[in-house]
């Protein structure tokens, strides 16, 4: 079985942190939202799928850390922000599809 970053963090006894490429992707998505650049529902859906996959991955990591009694508040804070971003994207998709 290939090890993932979260497995390495767990084995090292460290709190999991978002990878820099995840942060960069999320920053780009936020810029697109802020600047009103999402006009194509297909592109928005693609980005939503990436964010949704990240949410699922983080949810599993948080659950694993809680089982190990690791209180990773920064990850939980990031998780809440990402969920909020997904909700914003979902509202925009609803608007684009209703036109």
Rounded distance, CA 30 to CA 22, Å?
A: 12
* 8 A C-beta contact, residue 18 and residue 75: yes
Rounded distance, CA 62 to CA 74, Å?
A: 11
Rounded distance, CA 29 to CA 13, Å?
A: 31
pTM: 0.82
Rounded distance, CA 86 to CA 36, Å?
A: 15
Rounded distance, CA 55 to CA 61, Å?
A: 10
Q: Tens-digit pLDDT profile for the chain (99 aa)?
A: 455 555 545 554 556 788 899 999 999 999 999 999 999 999 999 999 999 999 999 999 889 888 888 788 888 999 999 999 999 999 999 999 997
Which tokens in the block code for residue 89? Answer: 């994207």
């Amino acid at each position: 079985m290939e090890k993932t970053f979260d497995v390495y963090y767990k084995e090292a006894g460290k709190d999991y942190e978002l990878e820099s490429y995840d942060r960069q992707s999320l920053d780009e998505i936020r810029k697109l939202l802020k600047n009103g650049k999402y006009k194509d529902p297909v592109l928005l859906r693609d980005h939503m799928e990436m964010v949704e996959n990240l949410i699922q991955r983080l949810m599993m990591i948080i659950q694993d850390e809680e089982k190990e009694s690791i209180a990773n508040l920064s990850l939980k804070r990031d998780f809440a922000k990402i969920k909020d971003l997904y909700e914003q994207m979902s509202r925009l998709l609803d608007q684009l599809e209703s036109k």
